[in-house]
Structure 1
Amino acid sequence: MMPVSNKTRSLAPFFVFLLIIIPLFAGLYFLEPPSETVYQGVRDREAVVSYAPSTGIVGDRVTLMRGEPMVINRHRMVYRGITDQGIRIDLFLLELDPDYAYPQILTKQQAKAGFRMADTRFSLLSVNRNRLKLRREKL
């Protein structure tokens, strides 16, 4: 067996270091997504209103079908049906948090007297299992 010189022995840790660091940095560089897609500020986010049907709004009357979203004044409302407690409506504040629903449960008496959701006031016209008809009122 040949003796190992001091010159190659001193370069061995350097080559081991390179063999570890180069693949690590190459993996981080090629696998990391660009920074502008990762960091999207809340101020830059706009309310997504294009996918919600708007056919249920005629004048001051709003018709919500069960389970279908309706966007009214940058707020999405989804009628969930009638429960034992009352009428259930999920409210999404699109500019604040478009993915989180704020559940609202109203009795028929409260709804007929008038109620406020976000920045709009409504009163109940009619309700059944599949449809909720509301009238928008002036604030």
Structure 2
Amino acid sequence: MAALAVLAAPLTACGSDALQRCVPVAAKSATPGELIGSYKGSYKAEAVRLTLSSGGAMKAEKWPTGDYHRSELGDTFNGSGTWEIAPATSSTDRALLRLHFTKPTLFLKGDTLDKLTIGTDATRTTVYDDADPDVCPDFRLQRQQP
């Protein structure tokens, strides 16, 4: 039975309390000070980098086209723009990092990932695409320590 639990853990919502979660629990709120910094991607976001600066500026490297409506993310681009925190609402129940790309200008709203769930715990801050809360997110970025 214990072996089955270990095998099933990656298929559940990022593990259980007994195992470290693949991402922190979604936050209901966050402050800009908690998010400012450089983020490095992992898993399907392996080469992705995101920098959130004070004043709301952001820079993304190797950011994917496509969004949750597509099963696979598309080509990547380097871009910049602004960011903001959208607090939890009754429909989202979690705070979201909203990215507004101004460069390159070829993307229409919805042509790229522009809303990420914010997760924090005692040791890490992670932003991720929470397309299916029953499995660990494929697209996740963790804030790097200064």
TM-score, length basis structure 2: 0.31
More helix by share: 1
Higher Cα Rg, which structure = 1
Larger relative contact order (Cα-Cα within 8 Å, sequence gap ≥ 6): 2
Query: Please, what TM-score do these two structures have when normalized by structure 1?
Result: 0.32
